[in-house]
Structures are given as structure tokens and as C-alpha cells.
Amino acid sequence: MQYNPGWNGSSVNLLHVRAVGRGDTLHYVWSSIGAPAALLVATASGSSALRLNWTRLLSPDPTGAVWIEPASSVVYSAAVVFTKVFEYSQTKMLEELFYPTYDLSDFSWDSVNGTLNHTALTAEFKGVPATDPGGSFSNGSLAFRVTAYEVGGRDGPLPSLLHTANSSKVEFVLAGVAPRGNSSRFALEVAMVEEPGVAQKLRSARSIDDEYTPTIFEMLSLVAESQNDSSPLSFLQWKATAYGSQTPRREDNIQCRSHSLQAANWSLPVSSLVHAYFGEGVGSTYTISAINISFGGEDGQVYQEKRYLSWSVLLGFGQPPKDTFSPLVISIMAVALGTPMVMLLVGSCVVFFAQRKRYSEYEPIN
């Protein structure tokens, strides 16, 4: 993990996470220059390097300020941008009343430097709106907590997502922000930037097993697939829940809903990092899709009470990790299926012995 490589200041944040394999390298570049975003680049070289032209990156036209060397080693690039936070209430007529949107590209972000943990591989991007006339953020903040992984495994705290060494986690946290209505709910808008020839598919998987995330049975994956052969290139994956506590327990669930994926004619989110890498205007080649993730059930009560909301999403290359049945569920199934099995076995033994006995009563013919 490297903070602002090649730049001495900490007034802006750029975090480079590099994972080196035998013949390949994965680059994750997180930045809050513009809307908070993550750039994902996979290369077929064990020594590819991230290059930055800071003068250009911090200028009004950052096109070309971020690149990978050697350029020929790049096999796949994509970006995820956290664009906006919406706050809304439902009126008596069941209409949704929207409060002014929080545009995350208009936030001011604390320095990530002090939050870097090189052992746990974590960092936090914490911000407040640059102008906050209503004072909603006077005692609160919004944050993106990033975790990189060296090996596969499962997170301890809920939602206990399964991860691989090729993935990273980002936790969206709204803490202490005063809601603007009595039954406010929040939604986060996430945009995906892909090269042409890549299609995003939203998939939902339901399981009977909730051992790792009690009471939550739905897992969602937004997978970027190659249009040629449908091979998965990258993904976002999350459980259909957020939590209303820093130490989440089952009862702190906040309902999380994924709205429909919006593809095409979506204008490029304001993110310097995305412009810097993919370019802008004529000649730039990427497609954009976006999705809203909303938090809060019927009445938005949990946030109202706890003033805390955390939602975790895994971001990675290749195929999203797939949960198998937990040991508990396997043993329950074994017991449930096992009992008749044992009875069948015991039954057939009895028959066998009974038959042997019967046969033995026969006298040999000769």
C-alpha cells in the first residue's frame, strides 16, 4: 500500500494497492480527488508499475495523468465511482420526497495518511460536504473504509463476507449525520466504468443458509463480463443488508435494496481519477452503468435511532467468491438426511441376517 506516491502533500488522497503474483499484478487505486473512486487494473506482468503525473492530475484537465507501465501488459481496466448520496422520506401519499442530494464530488476529505494501517491493510476516506448550510454534518461524517486482503478468507464482523486475495472490501459508513426528516432513508449511487465489450450483469442468489449473516439470505453480485465469451472480469458483491452499529449484531440489520441497473447514456461521473486514466470527451473509450443501493426499511427507524449506517461491498477481479453451505447447515442436513439413511442401513442388515438365517435352515442337496 502506498499513499500519494510521488507527491509530498496530503491535501489530496490517492492510495495505491498493488498485489503481485507470479506473472501478473493487480493494481487498485483509490482516490478522493473528485468523487471517491477505485480504479482496477490487471496486468500480465509481475513488474508493472503505476505512473502518475501529479501536475496534470490536479489540473482542470487530468486526462492522461494516470497510467500503467508497460502499457502493453494491461489486460483489463475498470473503475467504480461512488457518485451521490440521496436522502428521502415517504409522504402520506406514498410519494418519495427527496432532500437536496449530497454530491460526493463536492465533499472535502480528511487526509487518509493518518488512517493507513499497513498490517491490517486498511485505510479510511472520511469526508463532509464542502458547504453544509443545514448543518447536517456538524456532528457527523461519511466514510469509505478500504480493506485489502493478502489471502482468501472470511471477515469476522458482520456481514462476514467471503473474500479472495484478488479482492478488496469497501465499507460505506454514515455516522452521526443528522437526518433532514423524521423518517429519512438514504441511498448510495454507484457507477461502474468499463471498457467497450464488457457488459454488467446484476445477479441475486438466495440461500437457505444464513449462518454467517444471520437472517439475511440474499447475496447480490454485479459482474462485469466479457461480451465475447461471458467470462467474468470483475465484480462488486454484497449482502442485502446494512448495519446500524459499529459492532454489528443480527438485530442491527438495516434493510438494503438494490435498484435496477442503469446502463448507457449515463454521463461520466465527476471523478478526476476516472478522467485521468480513461480520458475524457472525443476518443475516450468506456461505457458506464450505475445502480442505486438504498438503506432503511418502511420507516427508516434504525438510522433515526442509531445515527449509524454501514454497508460493506467486496470489489475484485475475476469470479466473485461463492459461498458453500456452512458446516452448521451441512451437519443439520447430514442429520436430517442421515437418520433415514441409518435406518435404511439398519433395516437392510436385519433383512440380510434374517435371510442368512433362513437360508441356513436349508439342508444341502448333496
Ligand X SMILES: *[C@@H]1O[C@H](CO)[C@@H](O)[C@H](O)[C@H]1NC(C)=O
| Least distance between ligand X and beta carbon 327 (Å) | 38
| Least distance between ligand X and beta carbon 147 (Å) | 23
Q: How far is CA 356 from CA 99, 251, 359, in A?
A: 82, 59, 5
Q: How far is CA 319 from CA 27, 208, 294, in A?
A: 17, 22, 25
The vertex-11 CA angle with 173 and 148, nearest 5°, equals: 45
| Least distance between ligand X and beta carbon 308 (Å) | 8
Q: How far is CA 87 from CA 20, 122, 341, in A?
A: 40, 28, 55
Q: Which is nearer to ligand X, 55 or 72 (CB)?
A: 55
Q: Which is nearer to ligand X, 127 or 321 (CB)?
A: 127
| Least distance between ligand X and beta carbon 32 (Å) | 21
| Least distance between ligand X and beta carbon 290 (Å) | 3
| Least distance between ligand X and beta carbon 126 (Å) | 14
Q: Which is nearer to ligand X, 87 or 323 (CB)?
A: 87
Q: Which is nearer to ligand X, 103 or 210 (CB)?
A: 103
Long-range pairs for 63-68: beta carbons < 8 A, 24 or more residues apart: 63/275, 63/276, 63/279, 63/280, 63/284, 64/276, 64/279, 65/272, 65/276, 66/29, 66/39, 66/273, 66/276, 66/277, 67/277, 68/27, 68/41, 68/43
Q: Which is nearer to ligand X, 7 or 86 (CB)?
A: 86
The C-alpha cell of 357 is what? 438365517
Q: Which is nearer to ligand X, 106 or 211 (CB)?
A: 106
* Pairwise CA distance, residues 341 & 335, whole Å: 9
Strands 122-129 and 107-109 turn out to be antiparallel
With contact defined as beta carbons under 8 Å apart, do 80 and 273 qualify?
Answer: no
| Residues lying near ligand X in the complex (CB under 6 A) | 53, 55-56, 86, 139, 176, 182, 189, 259, 262, 290-292
Q: Which is nearer to ligand X, 83 or 168 (CB)?
A: 83
| Least distance between ligand X and beta carbon 140 (Å) | 7
Q: Which is nearer to ligand X, 171 or 189 (CB)?
A: 189
| Least distance between ligand X and beta carbon 204 (Å) | 17
With contact defined as beta carbons under 8 Å apart, do 71 and 43 qualify?
Answer: no
Sign of the alpha-carbon dihedral angle for 103, 108, 113, 115: negative
With contact defined as beta carbons under 8 Å apart, do 236 and 312 qualify?
Answer: no
